[in-house]
Structure 1
Amino acid sequence: MTRIDRYILILFLRTVMVCFLSLAGIFIVFHAFTAFDDLVNQTRRGDSLMWVLVRFYGPYLIMLFDMTGAIITLMAFLFTVGWLRRTGELTATLSAGVSHGRIFRPMVVASLVIITAQFASRELVIPHFRSSLTMKAEDLNGEIEQAVRPTFDQFAGVLIEGARLKTKARTIEKPNFRIDSEYEGFGDLLIADDAVWMEPGESRSPRTGIVEGLTGGPPVRGYLLHNVKRPEYIDRIASVGREDQPILMTSADQSWLGPGECFLATSVHPNILHTEDTATRLASVWELSGRVRNPAVHSSLALQTQVHERIVRAPLDFGLVMLILPLVVNVRGRKLFVMIGSAVGMVLGFFALKTLASALGGSGTLFTPGIAAWLPLLVVCPIAFVRLRAVQNV
Structure 2
Amino acid sequence: MTKIDRYILILFLRTTLVCFCSIAGIFVVFHAFTSLDDLVRQGQSDGGLLRVMARYYGPYMLLLFDWTGAIIVLMSLLFTIGWLRRTGELTATLAAGISHGRILRPILVAAFLIVVVQFVNREFFLPNHRDSLAMKTKELERETQHPMLPCDDRTSGILIEGAGILPRSKRIIKPSFRLEGDYKDFGDLLTGETAQWTAANADHPSGYLVDGITRPDLIDSLASTGTKDRTILYTSLDSQWVGPKQCFVATTINAELLQADQSTSRLVSLPELAARVKNPAVHSSASVQVLLHERIIRPPLDYALILLGLPMVINRKDRNLFVMIGVAIGTVLFFFAIKTLAGALGGAGYLLSPSMAAWVPLLVLGPVAYVRLRDIETL
1:188 positional shift: 0.5
How far apart in 1 are the matches of 2:331 and 2:25?
A: 27
TM-score, normalised via structure 2 length: 0.98
| Number of the residue aligned with 1:212 | none
- Which position in structure 1 is the counterpart of 2:104? 104
* Mapping for residues 1-394 of structure 1, pairs under 5 Å: 1-201=1-201, 218-394=203-379
Q: Distance in 1 between matches of 2:199 and 2:46?
A: 35
Which whole-Å deviations, capped at 9, do the CAs of 1:319-340 have from their partners, x for residues lacking one?
1111111221112332222222
Q: How far apart, CA to CA, are the structure 2 residues paired with 1:21 and 1:60?
A: 13
1:234-279 Cα distance to aligned partner (Å, 9 max, x none): 1111111113111111111112211111111100011111111221
Letter in 2 for 1:322: L
| 1:62 CA displacement | 1.0
Deviations 1:108-136 (A, max 9, x none): 01111111111111111111111111111
Report the Cα distance in structure 2 between the residues aligned to 1:331 and 1:101, rounded to whole angstroms: 15
Inter-CA distance 72–105: structure 2 relative to 1 (3 Å threshold): same
- Report if the CA contact (8 A) 2:46-2:52 is conserved: no
Task: Give TM-score scaled by structure 1 length.
Answer: 0.94
AA aligned opposite 2:346: G
Aligned-partner Cα distance in 1 for 2:14–2:304: 22
Deviates more, 1:300-309 or 1:43-52: 43-52
Q: What letter corresponds to residue 175 of structure 2 in structure 1? A: P
Aligned AA (2:151):
T
Structure 2 counterpart of 1:194, which letter?
T
> In the alignment, is the contact (CA less than 8 A) between 1:196 and 1:223 conserved in 2?
yes
Contact 1:148/1:161 (<8 A) preserved: yes
Distance 2:25 2:353 in 1: 41
Tell me, in whole angstroms, the C-alpha distance in 1 between the residues paired with 2:252 and 2:277.
Answer: 12
> What SS does the corresponding residue of 1:263 show, helix, strand or coil?
strand
**Amino acid in the other structure paired with 1:35:** S
Query: Is the Cα–Cα contact under 8 Å of residues 208 and 249 in structure 2 kept in the other structure?
Result: yes
Following the alignment from structure 2 to structure 1, what is the Cα–Cα distance between the partners of residues 124 and 143? 23
- Aligned partner of 1:190: which letter? L
Q: Which amino acid aligns with 1:339?
A: M
Aligned residues between the structures: 379
State the AA in 2 paired with 1:251. S
Counterpart-to-counterpart distance in 2, 1:218 and 1:157:
23
Tell whether the 8 Å contact from 1:179 to 1:188 is kept in structure 2 after alignment: yes
**2-side partners of 1:104 and 1:235: how far apart?**
72
SS for the counterpart of 1:12 is helix
Contact between 1:198 and 1:218, CA under 8 Å: does it hold in 2?
no
AA aligned to 2:315 is N
Q: Which amino acid aligns with 1:122?
A: R
Deviation at 1:387, TM superposition (A): 1.4
User: How many angstroms does 1:345 deviate by?
Assistant: 1.3
How far off is 1:21 after superposition? 0.6
SS at match of 2:174: strand
Give deviations 1:314-371, integer Å, cap 9, x for gaps.
Answer: 1100011111112211123322222222221111111100000000100011110000
Shift of 1:74: 0.3
In the alignment, structure 1 segments of 5+ residues that lack a partner are 202-216
Q: Tell me the SS of whatever aligns to 1:109.
A: helix
Identity %: 53
Q: Letter of the 2:229 partner, please give it.
A: D
Measure how far apart 1:286 and its partner are: 1.6
Alpha-carbon distance in structure 2 between the residues aligned to 1:46 and 1:229: 39
Gaps of 5+ in 2: none
Q: Distance in 1 between matches of 2:363 and 2:286?
A: 20
Q: Distance in 1 between matches of 2:144 and 2:273?
A: 22
Cα contact 1:222–1:266 (8 A) shared by 2: yes
Asked if 2 retains the 8 angstrom alpha-carbon contact of 1:326 and 1:388, the reply is no
Cα distance in 1, alignment partners of residues 76 and 89 from structure 2: 17
Judge conservation of contact 1:163–1:174 (CA < 8 Å) in 2.
Answer: yes
SS in structure 2 opposite 1:37? helix
Single out whichever of 73-82 and 344-353 deviates more from structure 2.
344-353
- The AA in structure 2 aligned to 1:225 is V
Counterpart amino acid of 2:193?
D
Asked if structure 2 preserves the Cα contact closer than 8 Å seen for 1:144 and 1:168, the reply is no
The alpha-carbon deviation at position 170 of structure 1 amounts to: 1.1
